[in-house]
Amino acid sequence: MRIAIANDMPLAVESLRRALAAEPQYELIWVASNGEEAVRRCREDHPDLLLMDMLMPGMNGVEATRRIMHDTPCAILIVTADVERNMTQVFDAMGAGALDVVAVPSLGPQQLLDGAAIRRKIHNIAWMIGHKASRSITPAPTKTSDPRGKRLVAIGASAGGPASLVELLQQIPADFPASIVLVQHVDEVFAAGMAQWLASESHMPVRLAQEGELLQPGEVLLAGTNNHLYLTAEGRLVYRREPADQVYRPSIDVFFNSVASHWRGDAIGVLLTGMGRDGARGLKQMRERGFHTIAQDQASSAVYGMPKAAAALDAAVEILPLDKIAPRLIQRLS
């Protein structure tokens, strides 16, 4: 896997070099010290993955990510020294198309632990680029609740998702008569911050989905752990580790498949921008169950991977630009 680094801090670059050197299949092809150089080098020698810092002199990581994803798209992993302080920029970069975020590995006593963390992220992204298919699971039963007559909007997103989710939620009124469940590819470390950020931009309350809870209309729940969120036959949300080999954590396919299998009310599936194929098969299952399904169109997608896969499977009843999706949801469910 050909990997590049955009970072102006020599110590950070050295720690990343050491983390990559532990895996012989990773080849470091170049290092850029600022955003402008990263954009240029991506044109000249296109990497499979770019490790992008947020705070660089001149063009910062957010703008560099935006330009690279527009001109010469590649997988981008945000690597920053202070994730919490840079949370807004991190979500902006993910909205522009970055796939994930991780802290810079330390050169101190925790080197092995930190090195393992970034290598795990890189391994997951390599899996995404490989476009491996996911598989469904059979949820185990819990306490009983009957969701018949209720309405659910299940939304999946990955690269470019945070900004797309904000734009969509801003158009949905506070009295929206359905439950909304979001599955965004984001590490559990950042899920709570993302829920708070989405809540600040939404007319509806947004919070993390809790183990065992029932869906209620008028609220937005975000998958909040690295385990998979899915719906049981009794209408409760639960988190499960299996399938353990599923690299997308949480997986959109796992949740969509559970909705197709167990939801007894009305439902709409929505697949937004993202790299790879996660969610496409699950959306197809929802359509075959008779639920309405929507995929974001290419022009409005930051990364046209997952919606493209859904279109190829004929999983979407409608393919719509982002600004038309919320009005369509309101029209169908109000």
pLDDT digits (tens, 9 = 90+) for 219-265: 999 999 999 998 998 899 999 999 988 888 899 999 999 999 999 88
Q: Active-site residue among 53, 92, 136, 185?
A: 185
Length reported for the chain: 334
106 catalytic, yes or no?
Answer: no
* Kind plus residue range of the DSSP H or E element containing 77: strand 75-80
Q: Active-site residue among 15, 33, 136, 158?
A: 158
For 174-191, letters b (16+ CB in 10 Å) and e give eebebbbbbbbbbbeebb
Write the CA distances from 27 to 24, 121, 310, integer angstroms: 7, 16, 32
158 catalytic, yes or no?
Answer: yes
Flag whether pLDDT at 113 surpasses 60: no
Q: Give the CATH fold of the 151-333 domain.
A: Rossmann fold (3.40.50)
pLDDT at res. 114: 59
134 catalytic, yes or no?
Answer: no
Q: Active-site residue among 53, 114, 253, 278?
A: 278
Contact 232, 137 (CB under 8 A): no
Flag whether pLDDT at 99 surpasses 90: no
Rounded mean pLDDT of 70-94?
Answer: 84
Place of tokens 């929505």: 270
Contact 248, 185 (CB under 8 A): yes
The reply to whether the predicted model has a pTM over 0.85 is no
Q: Which residues contact 256 (CB under 8 A, 6 or more apart)?
A: 154, 156, 269, 279, 281, 282, 283, 285, 286
Query: What region, left, alpha or beta, does residue 249 occupy, with left being phi > 0 and alpha being psi -120 to 50 degrees?
Result: beta
Using CA of residue 183, residue 185, residue 190, residue 196, what is the dihedral sign? negative
Most confident of 11-15, 133-137, 263-267, 279-283: 279-283
pLDDT-derived band of residue 310, with 50, 70 and 90 as boundaries? very high
DSSP helix, strand, coil percent of the chain (3-state; round to 5) = 40, 20, 40
Domain at 2-129, CATH class: alpha beta
* Kind plus residue range of the DSSP H or E element containing 267: strand 266-271
> Hey, where are the domains in the chain?
2-129, 151-333
